[in-house]
Amino acid sequence: MSTVKILSDDQISIAAKNILDDIKNTRKTEYINNFWRVLANNPETLKRTWESMKQIMGEGAIDQKTKEMIYLAVSVAHNCPYCIHSHTVAAKNKGMSEDEYNELIAIIGMASETNRLATALGIPIDDCYLV
Amino acid sequence: MSTVKILSDDQISIAAKNILDDIKNTRKTEYINNFWRVLANNPETLKRTWESMKQIMGEGAIDQKTKEMIYLAVSVAHNCPYCIHSHTVAAKNKGMSEDEYNELIAIIGMASETNRLATALGIPIDDCYLV
Amino acid sequence: MSTVKILSDDQISIAAKNILDDIKNTRKTEYINNFWRVLANNPETLKRTWESMKQIMGEGAIDQKTKEMIYLAVSVAHNCPYCIHSHTVAAKNKGMSEDEYNELIAIIGMASETNRLATALGIPIDDCYLV
Amino acid sequence: MSTVKILSDDQISIAAKNILDDIKNTRKTEYINNFWRVLANNPETLKRTWESMKQIMGEGAIDQKTKEMIYLAVSVAHNCPYCIHSHTVAAKNKGMSEDEYNELIAIIGMASETNRLATALGIPIDDCYLV
Amino acid sequence: MSTVKILSDDQISIAAKNILDDIKNTRKTEYINNFWRVLANNPETLKRTWESMKQIMGEGAIDQKTKEMIYLAVSVAHNCPYCIHSHTVAAKNKGMSEDEYNELIAIIGMASETNRLATALGIPIDDCYLV
Amino acid sequence: MSTVKILSDDQISIAAKNILDDIKNTRKTEYINNFWRVLANNPETLKRTWESMKQIMGEGAIDQKTKEMIYLAVSVAHNCPYCIHSHTVAAKNKGMSEDEYNELIAIIGMASETNRLATALGIPIDDCYLV
């Protein structure tokens, strides 16, 4: 399905390989998933995307499990099957329980419903919600 | 902007009033925001929506602050200004800090970018992500 | 809010005026709403859009009230406040009752919820649904 | 593709089985499609979703064929292949003719085009459309 | 996956065949891709869609390579894998270089990120941007 | 409408001010639009977003006018009024003519229509489009 080639290890440029090595080190795994392997066709975008990802998804005020759950929620709303599959696995790897997953799915569905209800009805924003 | 009337207190039917009273009791507030006040035109949808909301957004495996942050993330991706404003306030009321908000916004932006990259590139789902 | 000018009657080109006259005749009204008045900046797009609209939204196998309700449903999912307002009015003008409107809104909300549930869960299409 | 397991009949919990039985009875069919079979992993969401579906999609002011066509229109705009396939079949089963289907598709396409035109041009809502 | 039949050459009506012949002549190719072959089930929509396409995507103020790149960008944001694949090929056929493709993908990703940031933050439009 | 404060010049932190100064220098203007002024609440996201923007939207294989037109097309599909207004102005400032703007709008509309037609019909990707 890919619109560009998925590079095998020996087709990857040195510039891209250095980024992929940093991904492996940061994630403590030898596995590079297709997303990064495809971006390796374009080392500049690979580098910028990975550096942003590393900064945003690392430790912070929000714990990493919750970050992955938020990422998954956005990916569902944007309808990206690749991202849904990879971040469902990532959230589980960070400790998301089955109960948490079930609640996450329910929240996404509920928000989708009320988002469209509010839009359909043209509901004006309450004054108390404005900064 | 509303496509239906925002009902004043004396225009609300008894059926709708009972639901609005349950909202007030559950949320421990006298304030009914425009979303529910507009839905009150349609008591059946008001009742079903509120009962789902109460079930899904109450206490559970995911804490209520995080639930509001996930709701907000979905609302941004669906582009619902009403929902964005109301759930930004709700998340803050449930304890979202400024650092958490900043990280949440960054995750939403990052996910949006990689969602479209993965879609543009038609990246196939890795076998290890399939159940 | 417009990114192009809303033309007053004396600023409209002859080519655009002919199309606007056909809109008035077809709709049996003197009122030209902002959508067409803005498109009048670009007579070629005005003409192509109106001719498609006239063909698609006229009498056919689906009655005109139902056509407007479908148009409204799509406009909600695409989040277009202009289209939501204008097609809510159009559907009412074609005879949509308050009960029908309430059911329409509920269907849009329900579909939005299950659309995202099915997407989140990556549900495979049943063989019996394939042509 | 599913991110959760599709349960075989003997893996379904009693709580879920009761809901699936109600689906079979209501729809007068022995066939349970994948959507409900996947939701059966999560009996609470299964129950809430089915009860809403039964209430909203049953007989009412809008006939069931038209309801399915509206559901399909929303599912296209939300880009849910599962929902598009299942509700295309459902609409046909409720009596949608080939001419009606062709018109439905044309309306969805037309609305999509004008939704984005109105958004691109920032067209202000006519005063006469405001409640 | 198709919800309607993909017609073989001998199943195509005369009305549809005439349009398909015009597509072949205009594009100087014998190949009819699945999009048009499926639309051939519905000659009226086939005709209207092709005539609009021919008018809009032909020579004009914007060169055809750039037109295909814009078409691809919209198709990514709308999440249409069919359109992404066909317009990636079309843009390459019109001369899009690998560097241009890489930049196009980066712009789509960047716009997606800032679109959601601006939406999340509810940023008011600067006065100087209003017409 | 903003969900965070729009900072006046004396409320901006040193870290944010340095980025805003780079924006002024790069763009050769004293004007800072609301997007960057709001992001200034969050210097880390401000810095990352601006650095990506500067890299992606600067000179390259695609000229800057075309880059702005692609950015605008994505912003319309994502329904971001702020981004639509600011990038319409930016594209004009980079030299987009009225004819080019009219064609751009028409392409966005056409793509939106065929994106949804292809999705509704579930059209399978032609083998010749696969890499």
Q: How far is F131 from chain B (nearest CA, A)?
A: 10
**Angstrom distance (rounded) from CA D128 to CA B123:** 47
Residue located via tokens 């971006």: A39
Task: Test F74 with E124 for CB contact under 8 angstroms.
Answer: no
Taking only the tens place, the pLDDT of each residue in E26-64 is 999 999 999 999 999 999 999 999 999 999 999 999 999
C81 vs E contacts (CB less than 8 Å): none
Nearest to A88 among D3, D41, D80 (CB): D3
What does pLDDT average to in each consecutive run of 10 residues of chain D (131 residues)?
A: 84 96 96 96 96 96 98 98 97 97 98 98 95 83
- Spell out which residues of chain A touch residue D3, defining contact as CB-CB under 8 Å: 84-85, 88
Mean pLDDT score, A75-88: 98
Give the mean pLDDT of chain A.
96
Mutate: best of C84, C89, C102, C121, partner B, most B CBs <10 A? C102
Give the gap in angstroms from C-alpha E35 to the nearest C-alpha of chain D: 14
Candidate from A5, A44, A131 with C-beta closest to F3: A131
Per residue in F115-131, pLDDT (tens digit) is 999 999 999 999 999 98
For residues C94 and C101, give the distance between their C-alpha atoms in angstroms, rounded to a whole number.
12
For chain E, give the mean pLDDT: 96
Q: How far is F64 from chain C (nearest CA, A)?
A: 20
- Residues of chain B in contact with residue E85, where contact means CB-CB under 8 angstroms, are 122
Looking at beta carbons, which residues of chain D come within 8 Å of B1?
Answer: 125, 130
Structure tokens at D30: 């022995």
Q: What is the DSSP letter of A4?
A: S
How far apart CA A8 and CA A12 sit, in angstroms, is: 7
- Contact in structure between C87 and C68 (CB atoms under 8 Å): yes
- Angle ∠(F40,F92,E103) on CA atoms, nearest 5: 70
pLDDT of residue E3: 87
Q: Is the pLDDT of residue F21 over 70?
A: yes
Distance separating alpha carbons of residues A39 and A17, to the nearest angstrom: 11
Q: Residues 67-106, chain A: which have Cβ within 8 Å of B?
A: 67, 69-71, 73-78, 80-83, 85-86, 88-89, 97, 99-100, 102-104, 106
Q: Does B111 touch chain A (CB under 8 A)?
A: yes
Contacts of D33 (CB under 8 A, 6+ apart): C126, C128, C129, D86
Residues in C closer than 8 angstroms to E131, CB to CB, are 2-5
Nearest to B45 among C79, C105, C116 (CB): C105
Instruction: Answer yes or no: are the C-beta atoms of C74 and D107 closer than 8 Å.
Output: yes
Hey, is C125 helix, strand or coil? coil
User: Residue F58 class from Cβ within 10 Å (0-12 exposed, 13-18 middle, 19+ buried)?
Assistant: exposed
**What is the reported pLDDT for A37?**
95
Query: Which residues of chain F neighbour D124 with C-beta distances below 8 Å?
Result: none
- Chain B hits for A5, CB-CB cut-off 8 Å, are none
Q: Of the candidates B79, B88, B106, which has its C-beta nearest F3's C-beta?
A: B88
Query: Which among F5, F48, F131 has CB closest to A2?
Result: F131
Distance from CA of B69 to the nearest CA of F (A): 14
The answer on pLDDT for F1 being more than 70 is no
Chains near A with 3+ CB pairs less than 8 A apart are B, C, D, E, F
A13 touches chain E (CB under 8 A): no
Q: Structure tokens of A35?
A: 């997303």
Q: Say if CB A49 and CB E112 are below 8 A apart.
A: no
Nearest Cβ partner of C115 from A112, A114, A121?
A112
**Which chains does D contact via 3+ CB–CB distances below 8 A?**
A, B, C, E, F
Rounded Cα–Cα distance for residues C128 and C114 (Å): 20
Contacts B–C by Cβ distance under 8 A: 21
The per-residue pLDDT for range F59-101, each reduced to its tens digit, is 999 999 999 999 999 999 999 999 999 999 999 999 999 999 9
CATH architecture of the domain with residue range F61-123: Up-down Bundle (1.20)
The CATH superfamily of C60-131 is AhpD-like (1.20.1290.10)
Q: Which CATH number fits domain A1-57: 3.40.470.10, 3.40.50.300, 1.20.1290.10, 1.10.3720.10?
A: 1.20.1290.10
Rounded Cα–Cα distance for residues B21 and B16 (Å): 9
pLDDT confidence of residue F40: 96
Q: Which chains touch E (3 or more CB pairs under 8 A)?
A: A, B, C, D, F
- Size of chain C in residues: 131
Which of C53-62, E1-10, E39-48 has the weakest average pLDDT? E1-10
The rounded distance, in Å, linking the Cα atoms of A53 and D124 is 38
For the whole model, what pTM was predicted? 0.97
- pLDDT confidence of residue C3: 87
D62-119: CATH superfamily: AhpD-like (1.20.1290.10)
Contact E87, F128 (CB under 8 A): no
pLDDT of residue E1: 59
Q: Is the pLDDT of residue C121 over 70?
A: yes
Sequence ranges of the domains in chain F: 8-57, 61-123
Which residues on F lie below 8 Å from B84 (Cβ)? 3
pLDDT in tens, E85-120: 999 999 999 999 999 999 999 999 999 999 999 999
Pick from B39, D50, B46, B53: nearest CA to A112: B53
Q: Nearest C-alpha of chain B: how many angstroms from D98? A: 32
pLDDT band at A1 (very low <50, low <70, confident <90, very high): low
Task: Give the relative orientation of helices A14-27 and A43-57 as an angle to the nearest 10 degrees.
Answer: 20
Contact F74 E112 (CB under 8 A): yes
pLDDT, residue F5, reads 87
B61-123 has the same fold as B1-57: yes
Q: Which chain E positions have a beta carbon within 8 Å of B116's beta carbon?
A: 76-77, 108-109, 112
- pLDDT at site C52: 97
Identify the band that residue B131 occupies on the pLDDT scale cut at 50, 70 and 90. Answer: confident
Q: For an interface test with D, which of E2, E38, E45, E70 has the most D Cβ atoms less than 10 Å from its Cβ?
A: E45
CA distance A52 to A45: 11
Q: Does F38 touch chain E (CB under 8 A)?
A: yes
Give me the pLDDT at residue D5, please. Answer: 87
> CA E106 to CA E112: how far, in whole Å?
10
A98-120: pLDDT as tens digits: 999 999 999 999 999 999 999 99
pLDDT digits (tens, 9 = 90+) for A18-46: 999 999 999 999 999 999 999 999 999 99
- pLDDT exceeds 70 at position C32: yes
> pLDDT at residue B108 above 80?
yes
pLDDT at A4: 85
**CB atoms B118 and A83 under 8 Å:** yes
What gap in Å lies between CA A33 and CA B130, rounded to an integer? 13
Complex ipTM, two decimals?
0.96
At residue A85, φ and ψ (nearest 5 deg) are -65, -45
CATH class of A61-124: mainly alpha
| F6 or C55, which is more confident | C55
- Nearest CB among A3, A45, A78 relative to E102 is that of A45
